[in-house]
Amino acid sequence: MSLETLIVILLIGAVSGWLAGLIIQGYGFGLLGNIVVGIIGSFVGDFLFNKLNMGISEGILGTIIRSVIGALVLLFLIGLIKKTK
């Protein structure tokens, strides 16, 4: 993985976390926390879509959609864990 690819993944993850934080308002962690969740969520979304053999449009838009979905899944799971404690 090149440095440019890593920077793009981090930027898309940051945008995705911000968008996911706007969509799920009760489970947000603030701007910086949502950015971190988005970066992790981008990897989660990519993993989930690859395992399910599902494809969304290629390019930057497809990557953002996968990342937002991954961040939403991650925020949902974190919310479930926080509720049980």
> Which pLDDT value is given to residue 75?
83
Q: Tell me if residue 28 falls in helix, strand or coil.
A: coil
Domain-located, residue 6 = no
Distances (CA, A) of 49 to 53, 66, 76, 82: 6, 7, 17, 26
8-12, 55-59, 62-66, range with the lowest pLDDT: 55-59
> Which pLDDT value is given to residue 35?
77
Domain-located, residue 76 = yes
* Res. 85 pLDDT band, cuts 50 70 90: low
Total number of domains constituting the chain = 1
- What global pTM score does this model have? 0.78
Domain-located, residue 5 = no
**HSE-up of residue 25 (Cα within 13 Å, Cβ side):** 0
Domain-located, residue 18 = no
Model pLDDT for residues 18-46, shown as the tens digit of each residue: 888 788 776 567 767 877 888 888 888 88
Query: What percent of the chain is modeled with pLDDT above 70?
Result: 92
Domain-located, residue 26 = no
